[in-house]
């Protein structure tokens, strides 16, 4: 996925929206700050999430951090490969390192998130 076309949260999650499904992951900025990722706790398919609710946990050599739902929706699919290869988030945060896919998402919630340029400015301000 092209990071320039994604939407971002202040908690450093990204969303790729195809009009029906929102793919969620954590940004390159976040994975750099976390360091080597050693474990990912994924949400359960079928879970209904509210925007801002913790959907899982990512653990690294430095810290454990919640992953937050950037938008409300129902977990349609999780990236099961992260269970055996959590380092995929470090190696390819916008590709193989995606976390989950949500359905039943309101497009207005996606559009309300930061654009790539806004997110870059946010990160450059020390966030």
pLDDT in tens, 24-70: 999 999 999 999 999 999 999 999 999 999 999 999 998 899 999 99
* 112, pLDDT greater than 90: yes
Coil, strand or helix at 102: strand
Topology, domain 3-122: OB fold (Dihydrolipoamide Acetyltransferase, E2P) (2.40.50)
What's the pTM? 0.94
Count of alpha carbons within 13 Å of 3, Cβ hemisphere only?
16
- Where do the domains of the chain lie? 3-122
């Amino acid at each position: 996925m092209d990071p320039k076309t994604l939407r971002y949260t202040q908690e450093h999650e990204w969303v790729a929206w195809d009009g029906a499904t929102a793919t969620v992951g954590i940004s390159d900025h976040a994975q750099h700050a976390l360091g080597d990722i050693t474990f990912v706790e994924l949400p359960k398919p079928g879970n209904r999430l509210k925007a801002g609710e913790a959907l899982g946990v990512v653990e690294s050599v430095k810290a454990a951090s919640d992953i937050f739902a950037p938008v409300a929706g129902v977990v349609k699919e999780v990236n099961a490969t992260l269970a055996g290869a959590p380092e995929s988030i470090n190696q390819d945060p916008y590709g193989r390192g995606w976390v989950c896919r949500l359905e039943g998402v309101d497009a207005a919630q996606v559009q309300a998130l930061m654009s790539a340029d806004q997110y870059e400015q946010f990160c450059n301000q020390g966030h």
